[in-house]
Amino acid sequence: MTVESTAARTPRRSAGTKAGTTGAKRTTSKKAAGAGKSAEPALVQLLTPEGKRVKNAEFDRYVDGITAEELRGLYRDMVLTRRFDAEATALQRQGELGLWASLLGQEAAQIGSGRALRDDDYVFPTYREHGVAWCRGVDPTNLLGMFRGVNNGGWDPNGNNFHLYTIVIGSQTLHATGYAMGITKDGADSAVIAYFGDGASSQGDVAEAFTFSAVYNAPVVFFCQNNQWAISEPTEKQSRVPLYQRAQGFGFPGVRVDGNDVLANLAVTKWALERARAGEGPTLVEAFTYRMGAHTTSDDPTRYRGDEERLAWEAKDPILRLRRFLESANHADEGFFAELESESEALGKRVREAVRAMPDPDHFAIFENVYADGHALVDEERAQFAAYQASFADADGGK
């Protein structure tokens, strides 16, 4: 397996935990993961693309007790998330949303990690974490307001311990670190997870978050979805070493997990959260996955990548592999799949109707909530905007 680390030396809240049993050991094992391409490090995998369960001495214990019902639940989460995402993409194409960032292909990374969390844990997402939002119980229609341009977020972050979508790349890793440091001061045993991408890993904010979280031993999991692309920039342009190895230089463990294997993501994230709760500090999880769609609906990936790559990743589809496993283990019958299909269609319909019914904001709402007590410059801008709006009425004969 692929965990590399220097063991945390200053566990602050580890009384009574089995320090050193959770895999801060080194390995130099490498195996070729690509089809005859350069050797890639081994990754934690519990389900092969063919849907076969493979043994893993270190991580099996996190999923050994999982029931057939829970497995069907993970499948349902992924299918409904994908259906919601497809609906949002279609709504953008129909002019109902200004933009959409699809998670297609990343369902297992998001559902596996999302389902590893406890209710009292706190999530700091990017703009693509629709599957994690689903696990937190955020109504999917609430995710769409910002993309329609009718609000600035659309949900109360403290309602589900799921922070607002963050567009400024990498900045949420610092928010997460600060929040996690606060948890330690409170003496609580909850944990924080920060999602970010391969491109974000090059941001200074992420390096600062790694440094602070390490030296303050903050209970935070850095969950990097390496979807191979940062818009049109491939991961080779982000790092000369596999991303999970970055953690080593900061003094905490890093692990690469098969990002398309929901069980492996569940197990590895549980392990990382367990470390955080035990006072063993941060962990970097690199979920090795693929962005099957465009960066956003404003992007045309055919300009910078070929079909072969997408086809190779389609063969590793996260939903298909869990379906194969469920079927071969007799954990789900045709009735289950048929019912899920109708549930998906109903979700699509509900999302469509909710988006079309979203009220437009008041034109002046953009000036609200900028400063708690108002500001002269904002007042000036509001007055300018009012005059601009009034100019249309004049042109129309004062109507």
Ligand X SMILES: Cc1ncc(C[n+]2csc(CCOP(=O)(O)OP(=O)(O)O)c2C)c(N)n1
Footprint of Mg ion (CB under 5 A): 197-199, 227, 230
Whether 124 and 175 have beta carbons less than 8 Å apart is answered as yes
291 is catalytic: yes
Which one among 132, 176, 192, 200 touches ligand X, defined by CB under 6 A?
200
Which one among 66, 150, 207, 231 touches ligand X, defined by CB under 6 A?
231
Cβ-Cβ contacts under 8 Å for 384 (sequence gap 6 or more): none
280 binds ligand X (CB under 6 A): no
Q: Residue 66 touches which of Mg ion, ligand X, none (CB < 5 to 8 A by kind)?
A: none
Cβ-Cβ contacts under 8 Å for 161 (sequence gap 6 or more): 119, 120, 121, 122, 123, 136
318 binds ligand X (CB under 6 A): no
CB of 392 to Mg ion, least distance (A): 42
Q: Which stretch binds ligand X (CB under 6 A): 173-181, 229-237, 298-306, 334-342?
A: 229-237
For residues 246 and 234, give the distance between their C-alpha atoms in angstroms, rounded to a whole number.
Answer: 17
Whether 36 and 51 have beta carbons less than 8 Å apart is answered as no
CB of 128 to Mg ion, least distance (A): 9
CB of 256 to ligand X, least distance (A): 16
Q: Residue 231 touches which of ligand X, Mg ion, none (CB < 5 to 8 A by kind)?
A: ligand X
Residue closer to ligand X (CB basis): 199 or 281: 199
Residue 288: beta bridge partners? 226, 258
Cβ-Cβ contacts under 8 Å for 252 (sequence gap 6 or more): 5, 6, 8, 210, 213, 214, 281, 282, 283, 284
Catalytic entry in 26, 93, 304, 356: 304
Residue closer to Mg ion (CB basis): 213 or 227: 227
2 binds ligand X (CB under 6 A): no
Residue 222: beta bridge partners? 194, 284
User: Phi first, then psi: what are they for 225, rounded to 5°?
Assistant: -85, 100
Residue closer to ligand X (CB basis): 105 or 219: 105
Task: Say which residue the tokens 């509900």 belong to.
Answer: 350
Q: Tell me the per-residue interface mask from 131 to 170 with ligand X, x by CB under 6 A, - otherwise.
A: ------------------------------------xxx-
Which segments of the chain are extended strands (E)? 3-4, 30-31, 40-41, 122-124, 192-197, 220-226, 229-230, 233-234, 254-258, 283-288
Which one among 41, 145, 197, 254 touches ligand X, defined by CB under 6 A?
197
Q: Measure CA 336 to chain center.
A: 27
130 is catalytic: no
CB of 126 to Mg ion, least distance (A): 9
246 is catalytic: no
Which one among 125, 199, 219, 259 touches ligand X, defined by CB under 6 A?
199
Whether 187 and 157 have beta carbons less than 8 Å apart is answered as no
Binding-site ranges for ligand X (CB under 6 A): 128, 167-169, 197-200, 227, 229-231, 291, 295
Which residues are catalytically annotated? 291, 295, 304
